[in-house]
């Protein structure tokens, strides 16, 4: 580890977490990693990381510990549970939760973190596996401005668009807003592709034309070609976006905000998951529109 760099722990080595650790390694850090599946730990250990046997051990050996986990309950267990991070609370420890979870749960965890004398940021990300691999994630952070500045070298190793959004929980609120737009754009692209294709237009032509006008968007750029090919190798799984839609609707109820189209797209994701397609990429929302239309753009 280079002089002056803090000791980093990293918990959660899935589709997003593993490439994020690799970018920390490239930046000169030697993360201490932990994951329930030991295969991912061993893989990163071979690349220069060190291994921990529990979340508690990762925190004990760290100045800053990052969590990148699937859901609210996972973060609660890792932070507050047996052999969890708070069992290793020590002076100066900063917890950065980069998972996408409920803002309500974030605030509940933060209250316990504060009681233990530990610092916390919520810093969810956007950009999918491609952004995680390239180190170009968008990072939206909530918490103390001083803690944000302390974490900035880590964020710069993993992301490109980095914003301090306000107090604790603000990062999760902004991420919920992000996930609304992503979900609704995927659904809109799916409708456009199926309408055009069933009306007799080549899906590749639709993609090329839409990508050159006001309808251009990142979903078309990153997922349009794979949607046409029905390649739904997950960059972000449909079941996780369904989880995010639940967070969005829960937050909307808390603040009295009407999200009628988000509620509809939530039901589409529920249909995918109930049909056993939850581990496909979230762009597989296309399959719902195809089923409702009795038409596959892949077979046009």
The structural domains of the chain, with segments of one domain joined by +, span 8-168, 173-299
3-state SS, the chain, equals: CCCCCCCEEEECCCCCHHHHHHHHHHCCCCCEEECCCHHHHHHHHHCCCEECCCHHHHHHCCCEEEECCCCHHHHHHHHHCCCCHHHHCCCCCEEEECCCCCHHHHHHHHHHHHHCCCEEEECCEECHHHHHHHCCEEEEEECCHHHHHHHHHHHHHHEEEEEEEECCCHHHHHHHHHHHHHHHHHHHHHHHHHHHHHCCCCHHHHHHHHCCCCCCCHHHHHHHHHHHHCCCCCCCEHHHHHHHHHHHHHHHHHHCCCCHHHHHHHHHHHHHHHCCCCCCEHHHHHHHHHHHHCCCHHHC
Q: Residue 22: what pLDDT?
A: 98
Please tell me the predicted confidence (pLDDT) of residue 1: 39
pLDDT at 5: 84
Q: What is the CATH number of domain 8-168?
A: 3.40.50.720
Fold of 173-299: 1.10.1040
pLDDT value of position 297: 97
Catalytic residue among 18, 56, 175, 243: 175
The question of whether 277 is a catalytic residue gets the answer: no
Residue 3 pLDDT: 39
Model pLDDT, residue 235? 87
Taking only the tens of pLDDT, the chain with its 300 residues reads 343 589 999 999 999 999 999 999 999 999 999 999 899 999 999 999 999 999 999 999 999 999 999 999 999 999 999 999 999 999 999 999 999 999 999 999 999 999 999 999 999 999 889 999 999 999 999 999 999 999 999 999 999 999 999 999 999 999 999 999 999 999 999 999 999 999 999 999 999 999 999 999 999 999 999 999 999 999 899 999 999 999 999 999 999 999 999 999 999 999 999 999 999 999 999 999 999 999 999 885
């Amino acid at each position: 580890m280079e002089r002056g760099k803090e000791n980093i722990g990293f918990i959660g080595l899935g589709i997003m977490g593993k490439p994020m650790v690799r970018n920390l390694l490239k930046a000169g850090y030697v993360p201490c990693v932990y994951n329930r599946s030991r295969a991912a730990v061993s893989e990163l250990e071979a690349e220069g990381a060190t291994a921990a046997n529990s979340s508690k051990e990762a925190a004990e050996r760290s100045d800053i510990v990052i969590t990148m986990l699937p859901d609210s309950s996972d973060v609660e267990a890792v932070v507050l549970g047996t052999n969890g991070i708070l069992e290793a609370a020590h002076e100066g420890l900063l917890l950065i939760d980069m998972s996408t979870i409920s803002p309500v749960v974030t605030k509940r965890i933060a209250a316990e973190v504060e009681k233990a004398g530990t610092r916390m940021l919520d810093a969810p990300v956007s950009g999918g596996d491609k952004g995680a691999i390239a180190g170009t994630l968008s990072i939206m952070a909530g918490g103390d401005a001083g803690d944000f500045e302390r974490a900035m070298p880590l964020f710069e190793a993993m992301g490109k668009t980095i914003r301090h959004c306000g107090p604790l929980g603000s990062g999760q609120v902004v991420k919920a807003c992000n996930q609304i737009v992503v979900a609704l754009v995927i659904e809109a692209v799916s409708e456009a592709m199926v309408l055009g294709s069933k009306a007799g237009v080549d899906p590749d032509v639709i993609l090329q034309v839409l990508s050159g006008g006001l309808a251009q968007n990142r979903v078309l750029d990153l997922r349009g070609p794979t949607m046409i090919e029905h390649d739904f190798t997950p960059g972000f799984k449909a079941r996780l976006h369904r989880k995010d839609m639940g967070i969005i609707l829960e937050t909307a109820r808390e603040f009295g905000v009407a999200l009628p189209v988000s509620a509809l797209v939530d039901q589409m994701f529920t249909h995918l998951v109930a049909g056993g397609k939850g581990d496909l990429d979230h762009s597989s929302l296309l399959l719902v529109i195809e089923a409702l239309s009795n038409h596959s753009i892949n077979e046009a």
